[in-house]
Amino acid sequence: MHKGFTLWFTGLSGSGKSTLSERIYRRLAAAGAKVELLDGDEVRTHLSKGLGFSKEDRDTNVRRIGFVAELLTKHGVIAITAAISPYRDTREAVQARIGTYVEVFMDCPIAVLAERDVKGLYKKALAGEIPHFTGVSDPYEPPVAPDVRVDSSSEDIAVSEARVWALLQDRGLIPVSW
């Protein structure tokens, strides 16, 4: 029916990872896929409680998500992850272990994120009140060659969803009839 693979979203807070990943998740589930969404909150509760925001702790968090995604992928499940995953070498290490891995880079300009500021975090971070805020006071290393690049400031989410979906079909990971 479908292959096991990992669909890995990466990008800054507020860039649309959760929104787009949930749309893809629901569409796959509705089509009857074996699919699991490892969203940030679930992961923090079950895998990474107690970790902070140092590079080491962020990497540990990302590697744990990667370990679970790897197990699911290996057994034919579609694993969707939506963590910031700011460090390039860590994403690449996870990708190398998983094998069948599709990366979606949510590449929204920081000016737009700060303008939207849904959770009020960018304002605080830009005022220097949040010491390890990715993209402001902590690094974000963009993917060099993501499979899909989405700028949620300029692209309608239905278009982004269609582009991701078409790529999964082009790669033979899900049926073209879906």
Cβ 7 to a copy of itself, closest distance in Å? 15
Q: Compute the distance between CA of residue 68 and CA of residue 74 in angstroms, rounded to an integer.
A: 10
Q: Compute the distance between CA of residue 88 and CA of residue 64 in angstroms, rounded to an integer.
A: 16
Cβ 154 to a copy of itself, closest distance in Å? 35
Hey, how many other C-beta atoms are within 10 angstroms of the C-beta on 140? Answer: 18
Query: Which residue in 18, 19, 60, 153 binds a copy of itself (CB under 8 A)?
Result: 60
Strand order in the sheet with 101-106: 35-38, 78-82, 5-11, 101-106, 148-150
Mask: binding to a copy of itself, 131-160, rule CB under 8 A, as x and -? ------------------------------
User: With respect to a copy of itself, which residue has the nearer C-beta, 13 or 61?
Assistant: 61
* Active-site residue, 85 included: yes
- # residues near a copy of itself by CB under 8 A: 17
Mask: binding to a copy of itself, 75-114, rule CB under 8 A, as x and -? xxx-------------------------------------
List CB contacts of 160: < 8 A, sequence separation 6 or more.
16, 20, 148, 150, 152
Which parts of this chain interact with a copy of itself (CB under 8 A)? 34, 36, 46-47, 49-50, 60, 63-64, 67-68, 71-72, 74-77
